[in-house]
Amino acid sequence: MGKIIKLECPACHHYEEIIFNNDNSDKELGQIISRLSDYEFDIAQQWLKENEIKSYKSVSVLTFCPICKKLETSNILEITSFSGNRKSFGLRCDTCHTEKDIIDIDNYIPCPECENKMKIVEMGY
């Protein structure tokens, strides 16, 4: 089901295991929203009141909080309205509410300890 990526920092030897598990893919919009943090839940509720939903999708991505230096997977909810408004939820850090960076795993994965580029040692399912 999920994808596992094992990472190691060549500089400080910090080790991370990242698990991608997008268990939101077949859920109703209301259920996905109820899993957002309290902070984003309120914003999402307000947005849904003001916009008519055309489509939504939930994707699992690797994110990095530039403040907390936390590397984690986040389930991002993307909603598009009939009037063309688009909004993403799930990118705010639970701890500091900063918008996390989406990490391209083929490019640069920052080490949470020293921000050096981490190396993928193993990728599996």
Q: Which residues bind Zn ion (CB under 5 A)?
A: 9, 11-12, 14, 65, 67-68, 93, 95-96, 98, 111, 113-114, 116
Q: Tell me the C-alpha distance between 36 and 38, whole Å.
A: 6
Residue 117 beta carbon to Zn ion: minimum distance, rounded to whole angstroms:
9
Closest to Zn ion by CB, 48 vs 61, is 61
Closest to Zn ion by CB, 9 vs 33, is 9
Q: Tell me the C-alpha distance between 40 and 101, whole Å.
A: 16
Residue 29 backbone phi and psi in degrees, to 5: -55, -45
125 residue type, one letter: Y
Residue 67 beta carbon to Zn ion: minimum distance, rounded to whole angstroms:
4
Closest to Zn ion by CB, 33 vs 93, is 93
Contact by Cβ (8 Å): 37, 75 = no
Closest to Zn ion by CB, 37 vs 81, is 37
Centre a 10 Å sphere on the Cβ of residue 24 and count the other Cβ atoms it contains: 19
DSSP state for residue 24 in the 8-state scheme: T
Residue 109 beta carbon to Zn ion: minimum distance, rounded to whole angstroms:
11
Residue 20 beta carbon to Zn ion: minimum distance, rounded to whole angstroms:
20
Distance of CA 71 to the CA centre of its chain: 10
